Amino acid sequence: MAYSSIVKPSDYFNTKLYVGNSGTNAITGVGHQPDMVWIKARSGTDPIVNHALYDAVRGTSKQLKPNQTNSELAQSGITSFDSDGFTLGSYIDANYNNNNNVAWSWKAGNTAGSSNTNGNITSTVSVNTTAGFSIVKYSGNLSGSGVSTVGHGLGVAPKAIIVKNINNTGDWTVLHTALPSWNYILQLNDTGGQIDKGGNGSMSAPTTTLFSTNYTNGLNVSGRDYIAYCFAEKQGYSKFGKFTSNGSDNGTFTYTGFAPNWVIMKPNVTDGWSNWYIFDTTRKENLNDMPLYANLNVAEGYYGGSPASNYAQIDILSNGFKIRRDGSWGGGGSGREMIYMAFAENPLVANSGTDGVPATAR
């Protein structure tokens, strides 16, 4: 029997709901000390609330906005990463008074990182090899077409990498195992399709120690600093892949090997025209028709004037997820390729754990 090394996914990833108060706000019950926290207002009185992303390698009170191209912003967002959560200051995007918020958190190494010299760029890495997650900070070194490598610390090859230029305006770059090659990127902050960047330098697939960057604003330009979030696949905990839509309300089923808590997906990666959809079972169970959008600052639910009952629905199951209302998704319909990243709420596979007891027997 196959075994997962992770008994309790919330030890490494979790979704937490909280209400903003525009002041000091200690959020507990996360289940781990997070090293990356991605926050979005679900609803509220403030009409323009951006996504807010923080990590322990860049340090507290330094925000990035996944839906925008802005450089890193210093403000009173997350003021500390705590043993069972995090503490917020007064900054509006993360803590507007009476806004209902969601925070998605990942555990890396619970440190600000250490030096990694595996690539031809020295990086700073905070890593959790059990969960397959590392946060990597590095400085660009390319002034023209070419390729440089960066150490990621995972010990296995990552399946997805999200990169942001933090000291200059620039798009969020997504590298993903299901794209045609590692020369192709998507941009998290927009609706566009895959872009072939191989002309800037041909990038190789990640190895157990390195990932490649080329002369692209979102990956490697001399004088610019970058943060990369690297994800390896772990059985029973995380899955990264692609599926093809069938244009039906009885849509495509995707097997993950666990009951997902969180799924982000990008429909129509070949041609574009679609938002990035984020679903989680903490905000809504089946039928899950309450997405948030990585590239937009809108509230959860429908977007663009269509009723929620006619838009962006999935079922999250014990062993994967199933698309509903397939033809209504932006750029949807039969034959569209959709990539995804998913993290578990409950493993499907058995787990021996530290005490030798399978998770299914607990």
Which pLDDT does position 355 carry in this prediction?
37
pLDDT in tens, 10-63: 999 999 999 999 999 999 999 999 999 999 999 866 666 899 999 999 999 999
Q: Which residue range forms the structural domain that includes residue 281?
A: 238-347
pLDDT in tens, 63-122: 999 999 999 999 889 999 999 999 999 988 899 998 999 999 999 999 999 999 999 999
Task: Let me know the angle formed at the C-alpha of 293 by 342 and 285, rounded to the nearest 5 degrees.
Answer: 55
Pairing mode of beta strands 13-19, 25-27: unpaired
Whether residue 94 sits in one domain with residue 30: yes
CB atoms within 10 A of CB 148: 21
Residue 141 within a domain = yes
CATH number at residue 156: 2.60.40
Residue 305 within a domain = yes
Whether residue 213 sits in one domain with residue 159: yes
DSSP letter at 350? B
Number of domains in the chain: 3
Which pLDDT does position 44 carry in this prediction?
67
Among positive and negative, which fits the CA dihedral 125, 129, 134, 139? positive
Using the predicted structure, report yes or no on whether residue 350 has a pLDDT greater than 70.
no
Residue 354 within a domain = no
Which pLDDT does position 359 carry in this prediction?
40
Residues recorded for the chain: 362
Which of 140-144, 214-218, 262-266, 272-276 has the weakest average pLDDT? 272-276
| % of the chain at pLDDT higher than 90 | 75
> Across the strands, what pairs with 278?
264, 292
Question: Of 264, 240, 38, 227, nearest to 156 (Cα)?
Answer: 240
Among positive and negative, which fits the CA dihedral 136, 67, 341, 148? negative
Residue 1 within a domain = no
Distances in Å between the Cα of 208 and the Cα atoms of 3, 141, 230 are 21, 22, 12
Last residue of a domain, one of 182, 215, 231: 231
Whether residue 295 sits in one domain with residue 339: yes
Which pLDDT does position 328 carry in this prediction?
58
Whether residue 133 sits in one domain with residue 227: yes
More confident residue, 309 or 136: 136
Which pLDDT does position 361 carry in this prediction?
32
Residue 357 within a domain = no
pLDDT in tens, 111-149: 999 999 999 999 999 999 999 999 999 999 999 999 999
Residue 2 within a domain = no
Residue 4 within a domain = no
Residue 187 within a domain = yes
Find the Cα–Cα–Cα–Cα dihedral 21, 22, 26, 31, rounded to 10°. 80
